[in-house]
Structure 1
């Protein structure tokens, strides 16, 4: 069983912000595979189903970004899931808009949601897909990630979300190395 976690902030106010691309990736996976992500459980919206031959739980933590680890810990414990079979999708300011960076493990970088997950799990050995949202040229970082994409960025981010879904499917069907080779960049 795989746990697929998309990070974001709950509520209409944050719906189309840069910080919510992880939610959008999980929503796209759900649509593509007929999984309803509507059950409120473990401080998250979850949906159970199958992607190919793999049983999956799609997760959108509802704790707000900086406390995402609370939900992730509860879900891992409840499903008795292997950490290596959890994939986290999230926005990354250190990756250019529309690019993906897939890693088997690693640090949280500057992402507070990932910092909280790693801090609470005390481990970082789980796959992640970083979806590039770019860096602000000036201004407040929080305002930037909680802001919306420009009209020029929307096609790039939509394409990145589609590629992140294909990367998750490749991880489940084959392995993370193949996904990294095919979708990084």
Structure 2
């Protein structure tokens, strides 16, 4: 049997990396439609599209298993508040034998334009409390993430208040179009690897992104 070429081996290894998807958000019905819960909402959409079972409680997280791009993938959402996400995920990952580099984190992002999505293989938290908690608990910032752009708050508004606001009707309508597209991006990341997903989706315009005027009108 011939030995795979280095590029082929690297591609194969990258495809095998992602074993779990974690959606960041706060528990409780009052947070379901807030900007800070976009990660959980995308995770739930991925579960439904894959025909996965309902989440089951396991310690400080809720988990379910789906088949995505022909592979078994664990979906995880925490049962803790956003700023305590890290210990809950780290505890589960240790139990499951999954490394930080094998986890794709879905998270909202103030620094991305509204409706834009972007994959990153790792990096800083950008001040996001859920990511700060994950970096501290996992003892590394080298875990992949898909950032979901919610745009910057108005100049006179505290970002902490902005992310906990319920989306405007215009934003909600936009995300109803964007999230299925983002779910397709995650499917590609699981099946073909993070680099393939980055090349295909980073910088791409999503279906029905709001213009600056529409966004300001909906705030």
Which of the five TM-score ranges fits, normalised by the shorter chain?
A: over 0.9
Once the two structures are superposed, residues 140-172 of structure 1 have per-residue CA deviations (whole angstroms, 9 ceiling, x without a partner) of: 222210101112222322233222211211111
1:172 aligned to which of 171, 185, 190:
190
TM (norm. structure 1) is 0.95
**Does the CA contact (< 8 Å) of 2:120 and 2:198 recur in 1?**
yes
Whose radius of gyration is greater, 1 or 2? 2
1:152 aligned counterpart, secondary structure: helix
1:107 aligned to which of 91, 104, 124:
124
Task: Measure how far apart 1:124 and its partner are.
Answer: 1.4
Relative to structure 1, the CA distance from residue 5 to residue 184 in structure 2 (aligned partners, 3 Å threshold; closer, same or farther) is same
- Distance in structure 1 (CA, Å) of the matches to 2:96 and 2:131: 20
Q: Is 2:168 the partner of 1:130?
A: no
- Show structure 2 runs of 5+ residues with no match: 1-17, 204-219
Moved over 4 A (4+): none
Relative to structure 1, the CA distance from residue 71 to residue 37 in structure 2 (aligned partners, 3 Å threshold; closer, same or farther) is farther
Q: Which moved more, 1:75-84 or 1:150-159?
A: 150-159
Q: How many residues align?
A: 185
2:21 aligned counterpart, secondary structure: strand
Task: Measure how far apart 1:82 and its partner are.
Answer: 2.8
**Does the CA contact (< 8 Å) of 2:19 and 2:103 recur in 1?**
yes
Alignment map for 1:146-161 (pairs within 5 Å): 146-161=164-179
Task: Measure how far apart 1:177 and its partner are.
Answer: 1.1
